[in-house]
Each structure stands twice: as structure tokens, then as C-alpha cells.
Amino acid sequence: NAGVTQTPKFQVLKTGQSMTLQCAQDMNHEYMSWYRQDPGMGLRLIHYSVGAGITDQGEVPNGYNVSRSTTEDFPLRLLSAAPSQTSVYFCASKEGGVSYSGNTIYFGEGSWLTVV
Amino acid sequence: RKEVEQDPGPFNVPEGATVAFNCTYSNSASQSFFWYRQDCRKEPKLLMSVYSSGNEDGRFTAQLNRASQYISLLIRDSKLSDSATYLCVVNPGGSQGNLIFGKGTKLSVKP
């Protein structure tokens, strides 16, 4: 089972460049989300989606865009990369829509992004 | 008060020790609670859910005290392989279903 697949695993960007982090899940989960994890900050929610065509902002959405055209895919776009966006990014998915009934949230393996 | 607070550690313990992690949460309406484990440079993975009655999974025991808004994780007979960061996770409820993650407590088990 593939679960949640993120690409790329590692990326170095120059300030001002744009890029897309890809995320796909094969579990038919309605809910998908993106987190960033920085030392001492824990996991912070960037954007999330409760179904195809529905997205919303999390705690730290500035500088990022998302779209959800299919149930399986939830790409994260960095519009104009800044050094402050250097971080580890995790995509996650879980069953269910707007209510969390205790189902496990599954994470991708992470994408290490460095902006120079 | 932060939404989910944990002692960051690190907790350095010898093999065989018993270690306890604590977590407090600020939203009294929170609906469900979990402990996740994260190994170095890996993604978080569910360790166990936390129920009001307390629950045990082998060497791991999780407890919830709703009145005090407090969650705990006890690890008995620590193994080297238990070395990781343990994340306290809370579902605050409401229409979003987004989880709130603590910053994690780092455990290092030494021979």
C-alpha cells in the first residue's frame, strides 16, 4: 500500500522561485492537509481540504496556495520562495469529512525544502 | 495558555526505566486525544489513542483527565528502540476536524 506519497523528498530553491510539492493518497480519504515542521515549533497547519473542490486556510497559509481537483491529489504551491519557508513539509490524509471520529491521520514521508 | 503543551525534554533514561510524559490542553471541549511517535527525520505515526477510561498497549499506558485537561503517556521497561519524539495530539472538535499537535517530547533511551 502506497498510503500518502510526497514528492520531491529534497529540494533547494533560490529566493523568489516558485515550486509545487506534490501529494497523493490512494486511500480515498476525503480530508487532506499540509503541515510544516520547524525546530521548536512543532507541526503547524498550512492548508487543508475536506473534499475535492474544497480548501481552507490553516494556521500559517501565507505564501502558499493549494487546490484539490481530485480526491487523490493535494499539491502545495510556493508562489515566491523565501528563506523563512525553509522547513520540512508533511502532507497528511484521513478518513471522514468535517468531523473527526477518531480515525488515524496518515502522513507522507516529508519534503525537506531549503530556500537560499 | 498554548493549545497543547508538552515538556520538550529531552528525557534521557537508561534501558529498563519507566518514563512518563505529560500534556495539557486548553480547549475543554476537545473531543479526542492521541499520542504520535516521530523518529528522527521521519513522519509522525500514531502510537495510541487516549480514552477517558485509560488504555494500555503492551508497555505503553495512556490516560486522560478531562477535569484537569491533562493527558499522560507512561512507558515501562524502556527499550533503545523507544528513542523518539512523542507528540501529544488533540482534536478540538468543531466543523473542521483539524488536529492540534504539541511540540513533542524527546526521549533518548541509553544502554
Chain B residues with CB under 8 Å of A99 CB are 95, 97
Q: Is the dihedral of CA A80, A83, A88, A92 positive or negative?
A: negative
What pLDDT, in 10s, does the model give residues A35-49?
999 988 889 999 999
What pLDDT, in 10s, does the model give residues A71-102?
999 999 999 999 999 999 999 998 865 555 55
What pLDDT, in 10s, does the model give residues A51-75?
999 999 999 999 999 999 999 999 9
- Does the beta-carbon distance from B97 to A50 stay under 8 Å? yes
What are the φ/ψ torsions at residue A106 (nearest 5 degrees)?
A: -110, 135
**Per-residue pLDDT at A101:** 53
- Does the beta-carbon distance from A40 to B103 stay under 8 Å? yes
- Does the beta-carbon distance from B44 to A107 stay under 8 Å? yes
**Per-residue pLDDT at A1:** 62
Torsion of CA B75, B81, B83, B86, to 10 degrees: -60
Candidates A102, A108, A110; nearest CB to B49: A102
